[in-house]
């Protein structure tokens, strides 16, 4: 989401060595200025989610009822996050490892960074070098690269001597490292790569399918990727064809079939045919989520529906996407929650708050972190 206000959901994926008070400053809803598109993976959730807590400076996990499932015992780290594919990163003595849902250490803490698992592999960093481990903790691809990206469509981008190429799941280099940058492969098995100062598209054989001609390329979302040519933004489809000609000052990703665009410093929305569905009229706008999108008008934030009708009047100092039927709003210094009927469900009282995920939202009061349910009842009282 490219807008003045963004959600920072739960614990950052950045690794170790930060003081405990940073927990309250990084994991919750907060304001940020974003002039360019930020590429990030969506927060992974799974059934029977466990939620990270901090108690007396130690990290543990609770269930959706607030019961402690894994006793607080681990060193705090910004690597701490929800479980993904049955494992979660923890830290002991400044090193990262993995635990299972019972709190058993399945990978001894030894790494400077552990990523999330994709296709059974997770990126790790040790001694400044990157490689991959499997869920048994075995190093399956040697730590030999300057940087790596996650696997997508069977390949992962890796950096060697300042250049990017691609490896397969057993670590063989299948596309030589010759690019200035490289993004993930899309479902059509094309990846954006930067050669010189321009971006193009290659297939999994490393053949250039679209010659480098773009100034910028984003990751694909809903079948389209934003591209920039001569200071104007448009979109390509998954075959690499220009589907919507570059003509906009800036754009967002497609979400629920619509993407925001800027013309003459006003925000509107287009469909996947490039037709303007909602005329540019707003100062800022966000992606659609659960049928609604945030918009700024007259310095205040509200929501529109897919037809461009204002359904929640702009009266908030900040607003974030709907998730599980509720959205964070901010008036003054405090954050609360509203429903799509504009009813204030949870009074503004928090300094920071996350979206609801699996029925709970993480909130901060006086630099302490707790969890609430959708009625505003504390499942876990704020602690630090």
**pLDDT at residue 181 tops 90:** yes
Residue-wise pLDDT tens digits, 346-380: 999 999 999 999 999 999 999 999 999 999 999 99
Q: Which of 14-28, 110-124, 211-225, 271-285 has the lowest mean pLDDT?
A: 14-28
The pLDDT value given to residue 85:
82
Lookup: tokens for 156: 């992962």
The pLDDT value given to residue 82:
77
Mean pLDDT score across all residues of the chain: 87
Mean pLDDT of all residues in 117-130: 94
For 237, residues 6+ apart whose C-beta sits below 8 A from its C-beta are 223, 224, 243
> Are 69 and 61 spatial neighbours (Cβ–Cβ below 8 Å)?
yes
The pLDDT value given to residue 46:
52
| Residue 316: domain span | 252-384
Mean pLDDT of all residues in 175-187: 97
Into how many domains does the chain fold? 1
Q: Is residue 334 part of a domain?
A: yes
**pLDDT at residue 102 tops 70:** yes
Of residues 1 and 70, more confidently modeled: 70
**pLDDT at residue 322 tops 60:** yes
Q: What percent of the chain lies above the pLDDT cut of 70?
A: 86
Q: Which of 41-45, 88-92, 96-100, 378-382 has the lowest mean pLDDT?
A: 41-45
Write b or e for each residue in 319-335: b if 16 or more Cβ atoms lie within 10 A of its Cβ, otherwise e. Answer: bbbbbeebbbbbeeebb
Residue-wise pLDDT tens digits, 329-343: 999 999 999 999 999
Between CA 290 and CA 297 the distance in angstroms is 21
The pLDDT value given to residue 47:
53
CATH code (residue 280): 2.130.10.10
At 80, the pLDDT band (50, 70, 90 cuts) reads low
Q: What percent of the chain lies above the pLDDT cut of 90?
A: 77
**pLDDT at residue 344 tops 70:** yes
Q: Taking the CA of residue 39 as centre, how many other CA atoms within 13 Å lie in the half-sphere pointing to its CB?
A: 13
> Are 252 and 2 spatial neighbours (Cβ–Cβ below 8 Å)?
yes
DSSP readout, 171-202?
S-EEEEEEESEEEEE-TTSEEEEEETTEEEEE
| Residue listed under structure tokens 């730590």 | 143
**pLDDT at residue 3 tops 50:** no
The pLDDT value given to residue 23:
36
**pLDDT at residue 116 tops 90:** no
Residue-wise pLDDT tens digits, 42-63: 344 455 689 999 999 899 999 9
Between CA 141 and CA 78 the distance in angstroms is 25
> Are 272 and 292 spatial neighbours (Cβ–Cβ below 8 Å)?
no
**pLDDT at residue 41 tops 90:** no
3-state secondary structure of 310: strand
Q: Which pTM value belongs to this model? A: 0.84
Q: Is residue 382 part of a domain?
A: yes
Q: Is residue 149 part of a domain?
A: no
Q: Is residue 156 part of a domain?
A: no
Q: Is residue 356 part of a domain?
A: yes
> Are 235 and 251 spatial neighbours (Cβ–Cβ below 8 Å)?
yes
Strands 259-263, 266-270: parallel, antiparallel or unpaired by DSSP? antiparallel
Q: Is residue 36 part of a domain?
A: no
The pLDDT value given to residue 94:
82
Residue-wise pLDDT tens digits, 127-161: 999 999 998 889 999 999 999 999 999 999 999 99
Q: Is residue 295 part of a domain?
A: yes
């Amino acid at each position: 989401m490219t807008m003045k206000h963004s959600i920072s959901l739960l614990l950052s994926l950045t690794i170790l060595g930060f003081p405990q008070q940073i927990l309250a400053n990084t994991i919750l809803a907060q304001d940020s200025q974003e002039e360019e598109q930020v590429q990030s993976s969506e927060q992974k959730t799974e059934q029977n989610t466990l939620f990270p807590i901090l108690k007396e400076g130690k990290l543990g996990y609770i269930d959706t009822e607030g019961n402690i499932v894994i006793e607080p015992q681990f060193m705090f780290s910004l690597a701490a996050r929800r479980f993904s594919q049955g494992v979660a990163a923890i830290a002991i003595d400044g090193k990262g490892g993995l635990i299972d849902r019972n709190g058993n250490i399945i990978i001894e803490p030894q790494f400077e960074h552990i990523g999330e698992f994709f296709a059974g592999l997770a990126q790790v960093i040790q001694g400044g070098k990157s490689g991959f481990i499997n869920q048994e903790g075995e190093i399956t691809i040697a730590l030999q690269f300057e940087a790596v990206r996650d696997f997508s469509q069977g390949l992962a981008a890796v950096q060697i001597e300042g250049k990017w190429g691609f490896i397969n799941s057993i670590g063989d280099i299948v596309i030589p490292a010759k690019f200035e940058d490289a993004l993930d492969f899309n479902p059509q098995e094309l990846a954006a790569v930067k050669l010189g100062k321009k971006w193009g598209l290659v297939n999994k054989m490393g053949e250039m399918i679209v010659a480098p001609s773009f100034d910028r390329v984003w990751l694909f979302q809903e079948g389209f990727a934003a591209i920039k040519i001569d200071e104007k933004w448009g979109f390509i489809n998954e075959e690499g064809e220009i589907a919507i000609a570059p003509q906009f000052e800036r754009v967002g990703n497609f979400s629920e079939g619509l993407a925001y665009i800027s013309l003459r410093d006003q925000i509107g929305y287009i469909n996947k045919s490039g037709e303007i569905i909602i005329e540019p009229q707003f100062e800022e706008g966000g992606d659609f989520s659960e049928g609604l999108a945030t918009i700024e008008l007259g310095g205040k934030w509200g929501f529109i529906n897919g037809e461009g009708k204002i359904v929640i009047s702009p009266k908030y100092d900040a607003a974030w996407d709907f998730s599980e039927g509720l959205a964070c709003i901010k008036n003054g210094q405090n954050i609360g929650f509203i429903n799509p009927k504009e009813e204030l469900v949870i009074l503004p009282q928090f300094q920071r708050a996350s979206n609801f995920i699996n029925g709970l939202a993480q909130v901060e009061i006086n630099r302490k972190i707790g969890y609430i349910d959708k009625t505003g009842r504390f499942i876990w009282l704020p602690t630090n």
